[in-house]
A and B are shown apart, each in its own frame.
Chain A
Amino acid sequence: MNVTVKYFAVCHEMLDRSEEEMDLPEGATVETILKRLEEEWPEIAEFYEVMQMSVNWEYATENTELTEGDEVALIPPVTGGLDV
């Protein structure tokens, strides 16, 4: 199945791309994507602790199962608004 994976802010910079299509096996979860990224670039695992993931615009866990056409995103710590 194919899913879209989006990268924002520091993730975008780290991976040098803002989104990509991934072809995943049936039964894949968010963790499948994280492991695939880690294979490409091991250092990203350090950031997993502070990052969240979303599937179809909703926060998800690494155990969230994926289906064809899902939109997944790596969400670095959010910092909208301002420091007040």
Chain B
Amino acid sequence: MFKITTEVITGEEVREAVEGPDAGAVVLFFGTVRNNTHGRPVRCLEYEAYPPMAEKKMAEIAQEISEKWGLDRVAMIHRVGKLEIGEVSVAVAVASPHRKDGFEACKYAMDRLKQIVPIWKREVWADGEAEWVKPDAVFFDAPKPHKTDPQTD
């Protein structure tokens, strides 16, 4: 399962997608919305995705895990839209015969997800300001929407 959703993530969807009789471990990871970024209070987060490409890239990460660890049961789901503090934004599940490979593969999946899966996060601060997040956590403001009306130039 590789999915972008607007619905609440419970974790059951990814766990059930990877369970099987030969698994000795199921490693389940949740990303949750934190109430601050570098100490600045956060009101909520807004996630946006490019769903077909995101799901394709998630499947590619699973293929990489298959090649590196020989694990074929990996599931990823990422929520989009407005998320409140404490809600789950992303869940990854990896089933493996032994826990070591499962933990490593699950970490790898999250690291890769943050590198190649087209999903974007917008922080809405407690004071009402909002900005898109860059990967290095240095924020940049979106310039005002461009208007082509020459009268406004």
Residues of A within 8 A of B (CB): 6, 8-10, 12-16, 40-41, 43, 50, 54, 57-59, 73, 75-84
Contact = CB atoms under 8 A, between A and B. Distances in A.
Contacts, number: 99
**Most B Cβ at <10 Å: residue of A13, A80, A82:** A80
Interface of B: 31-34, 37, 47-50, 52-54, 56, 78, 89-90, 110, 113-122, 132-135, 137, 140, 142-143, 145-148
Nearest to B47: A80
A80 B120 contact: yes
A75 B120 CA distance: 9
A50 to B, nearest CB: 8
A44 to B, nearest CB: 8
Given A10-B132, A78-B117, A82-B89, 19 more contacts: A9-B122, A12-B48, A15-B146, A16-B147, A50-B134, A54-B53, A57-B50, A57-B53, A78-B116, A78-B119, A79-B120, A79-B132, A79-B134, A80-B78, A80-B120, A81-B119, A82-B32, A83-B37, A84-B110
B134 A81 contact: no
Contacts of B48: 8-9, 12
